[in-house]
């Protein structure tokens, strides 16, 4: 991986819709070079987000009363909630760099962050004809610990990743995550890591060479 230092914004809990509004502004600023490449770290209140290919039968039972929001990113259904670290990446890609290349880089940087927190992890290549295996899996338990869904517009990326730290994993069981009915979602705490949210923020920032902000 080449060096790619990022500026960092940190927030605590931000409503999903408000985050999307702010992200759209950040993307436009990056297109004008009014903003450097940026990693925005935050968490969301409980919400499911769905991509354009999400099947109706993969949606959660509405009796759980967790909102379901459409999103412009790639990927399928995912869950966000307290105890999960979300990272939005607003990055201008190189002339010969595509979004698939950058997603692979994101996966590898997160593998490095997880290793620093005592969890062995790996990215996976997608076999032909299979559901996309974008994200990061643990090497020991073979569970999925990071979801990734991104897009690019005029060479600038948006959306990003969600790393399960120490939140309640039950809502993952109420829907079909990532288009994979058999996926077993996990977290740092479930895998035995003592790293909490503060440590996760620090290691993720280090893995992405991100500096410059404090928690607001």
Going residue by residue through the chain, which has 216 residues, state the pLDDT in tens, using 9 for 90 and above: 789 999 999 999 999 999 999 999 999 999 999 999 999 999 999 999 998 788 899 999 999 999 999 998 867 899 999 999 999 999 999 999 999 999 999 999 999 999 999 999 999 987 776 666 899 999 999 999 999 999 999 999 999 999 999 999 999 999 999 888 899 999 999 999 999 999 999 999 999 999 987 666
Contact 7, 210 (CB under 8 A): yes
Question: CA angle 28-201-33, nearest 5°?
Answer: 20
What pLDDT score does 143 carry?
97
pTM (whole model) above 0.75: yes
> What is the model's pLDDT at position 196?
97
Q: Which residue, chain included where needed, has tokens 């993307």?
A: 27
CATH superfamily to which 6-211 belongs: Bira Bifunctional Protein; Domain 2 (3.30.930.10)
Nearest to 119 by CA among 93, 97, 146, 99: 146
Q: Tell me how far apart the alpha carbons of residues 178 and 186 are, in angstroms, rounded to a whole number.
A: 13
Task: At 206, list the tokens.
Answer: 């280090």
Any catalytic annotation for residue 178?
A: yes
Residue 102: predicted pLDDT = 96
Structure tokens that stand for 168 in this block: 């309640």
Q: Which of 8, 106, 145, 178 is catalytic?
A: 178
Pairing of strands 6-13, 38-43: parallel
Instruction: Tell me what pLDDT residue 209 has.
Output: 97
- With H, G, I as helix, E, B as strand and everything else as coil, classify residue 140: coil
- CA angle (28, 4, 76) in 5-degree steps: 60
Q: Are 175 and 79 in contact (CB under 8 A)?
A: yes
* CB 10, CB 213: distance < 8 Å: yes
Q: Order across the sheet with 210-211: list the strands.
A: 121-122, 136-138, 144-153, 156-164, 84-90, 38-43, 6-13, 210-211
The residue ranges of every structural domain in the chain are 6-211
Supply the pLDDT for residue 216: 62
């Amino acid at each position: 991986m080449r060096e790619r230092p990022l500026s960092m914004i940190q927030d605590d809990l931000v409503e999903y819709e408000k985050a999307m509004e702010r992200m759209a502004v950040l993307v436009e600023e990056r297109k004008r070079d009014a903003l450097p490449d940026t990693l925005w770290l935050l968490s969301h209140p409980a919400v499911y987000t769905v991509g354009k290919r999400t099947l109706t039968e993969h949606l959660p039972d509405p009796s759980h009363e967790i909102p379901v929001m459409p999103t412009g990113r790639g990927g399928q259904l995912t869950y966000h909630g307290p105890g999960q670290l979300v990272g939005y990446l607003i990055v201008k890609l190189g002339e010969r760099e595509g979004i698939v290349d950058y997603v692979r880089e994101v996966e590898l940087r997160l593998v490095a962050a997880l290793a620093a927190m005592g969890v062995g992890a790996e990215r996976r290549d997608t076999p032909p004809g299979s559901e996309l295996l974008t994200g990061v899996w643990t090497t020991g338990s073979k569970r999925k610990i990071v979801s990734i869904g991104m897009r690019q517009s005029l060479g600038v990326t948006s959306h990003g990743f969600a790393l399960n730290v120490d939140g309640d994993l039950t809502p993952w069981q109420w829907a079909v995550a990532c288009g994979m009915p058999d996926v077993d979602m996990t977290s740092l705490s479930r895998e035995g890591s003592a790293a909490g949210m503060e440590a996760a923020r620090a290691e993720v920032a280090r893995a992405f060479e991100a500096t410059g902000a404090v928690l607001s």
